[in-house]
Amino acid sequence: MFHGNVSLEIAEGLKTLKQRIEAANIPPSKIDETINIATWNIRELGKKRRSEAAIHYIAEIIGQFDLVSIVELRDNLGDLQRILPILGPYWDIIYSDAILDDGGNRERICYVFDQRAVTFNGLAAEASTPRTKRGREYLSDINWWRPPYIASFKSGNFDFCSLTTHVRWGDSEEGRLVEIQALADWLEAKIGEPNCEDKDIIVMGDFNIPSRTSPLFAAITSKGLVLPSALAKDEFGSNLARDKRYDQILHFARYGENFARSGGVLDFYKSDHKPLFPDLTKTQFTYQLSDHLPLWLQINTDIDGLMLDQLIQRKRQD
């Protein structure tokens, strides 16, 4: 991390933040063996220029992981460009175009990744909705307010795609339910394509799902997406109050329980924002850091043994 010659106040805040990060018990990743991924809704990043302290704190949090999907990145990339030099020259980004209407909220989706652990593998695109021909036109029945963004990556000998979404809040859960079910259906069709880029798909982002008992969670998991066991052990939240499960990391379990090792939430808030921003109210604090906590997961990327086991099983069945 390249924080440089920061002020006394920022240095003290970083020390407190590091203590809170340590309490999250995020295991270190190992090159060609594991990676740590996270998804984080950074509240309106880029809408209004953040303080110098916030930029350093955000960089410190992102730097705990190898790949982070960010939602609520706005059309103005100025603050993101301030974060990257602190992370270091080996970090890179891939981001979508901004959706400029009210439904899109001028938002982008972004992947920030450490190229020492994760490399971009070629695919980066908004999810293409299925269309049917009506007269002379090809039209879609799916209405995603903010189209999911998919990108392919490689770590060690593990190739995978990551799809990130920010589901609408809207006026009711009914609209969210339709959108989430459409996403589950789209993903089922995607992995069924004969030329699908990869069958290992990690699905992340802010789904605005309040809990695992919600019909919204049933919808997103209705077509084969699985909540990794590391994130299913306890009911915890990714909002500051830790009582809502808005953010999710899910995957198609091609390698079963060995796919995910450990996971959780990085609680930078700890019910007290004053050590980081002494002069701000809690609401003001959420516009400097966020009103969401990063949800993270460690993934086993050394899958040679798993692949050999599957090969042996197939050979024995022939």
CA–CA gap between residue 143 and residue 128 (Å, rounded): 11
φ/ψ region of 135 (left if φ > 0, alpha if ψ in -120 to 50, else beta) reads left
Can you give the pLDDT at residue 316?
61
The torsion angles phi and psi of 230, rounded to 5 degrees, stand at -65, -25
3-state DSSP call for residue 164? Answer: strand
pTM, to two decimals: 0.93
**DSSP symbol at 145:** S
Geometric angle at alpha carbon 52, from 240 and 72, rounded to 5°: 45
Across 197-209, average pLDDT: 94
CA–CA gap between residue 170 and residue 138 (Å, rounded): 27
Higher pLDDT, 309 or 137: 137
Token pair recorded at residue 171: 């006026």
**Could you give the strand order of the β-sheet that contains 295-300, starting from the edge strand earlier in sequence?**
91-95, 107-114, 67-74, 34-45, 295-300, 260-265
Single out the residue of 91, 95, 41, 82 nearest to residue 64, CA to CA.
Answer: 91
- Distances in whole angstroms, Cα of residue 210 to Cα of each of 214, 217, 239, 294: 7, 8, 10, 16
Percent residues over pLDDT 90 in the chain: 81
Question: What amino acid occupies position 172?
Answer: S
Q: Is the dihedral of CA 16, 22, 23, 24 positive or negative?
A: positive
**Residues 6 or more apart in contact with residue 134 via CB below 8 angstroms:** none
pLDDT in tens, 86-134: 999 999 999 999 999 999 999 999 999 999 999 999 999 999 888 899 9
The pLDDT of residue 40 is above 90: yes
Higher pLDDT, 156 or 290: 290
Can you give the pLDDT at residue 311?
47
The pLDDT of residue 235 is above 80: no
Which of these CATH numbers, 3.40.50.300, 3.60.10.10, 3.90.550.10, 3.40.50.150, describes 8-317? 3.60.10.10
The pLDDT of residue 312 is above 60: no
Across 208-233, average pLDDT: 93
The pLDDT of residue 315 is above 60: no
- Distances in whole angstroms, Cα of residue 90 to Cα of each of 116, 119, 229: 7, 11, 31
Question: What amino acid occupies position 47?
Answer: K
Label residue 258 by pLDDT band (50, 70, 90).
Answer: low
The pLDDT of residue 309 is above 60: no
**Residues 6 or more apart in contact with residue 175 via CB below 8 angstroms:** 168
Across 295-299, average pLDDT: 96
Lowest mean pLDDT among 5-9, 232-236, 274-278: 232-236
What average pLDDT does the structure give for the chain?
92
Label residue 280 by pLDDT band (50, 70, 90).
Answer: very high
The torsion angles phi and psi of 223, rounded to 5 degrees, stand at -120, 25
For the chain, the C-alpha Rg in angstroms (whole number) is: 20
Across 24-53, average pLDDT: 96
The secondary element (H helix, E strand) that includes residue 113 is strand 107-114
CA–CA gap between residue 188 and residue 167 (Å, rounded): 18
Geometric angle at alpha carbon 256, from 109 and 245, rounded to 5°: 45
Can you give the pLDDT at residue 257?
57
Domain chopping of the chain, boundaries = 8-317
- Cβ proximity of 43 and 287 under 8 Å: yes
Q: Hey, how many other C-beta atoms are within 10 angstroms of the C-beta on 172? A: 8
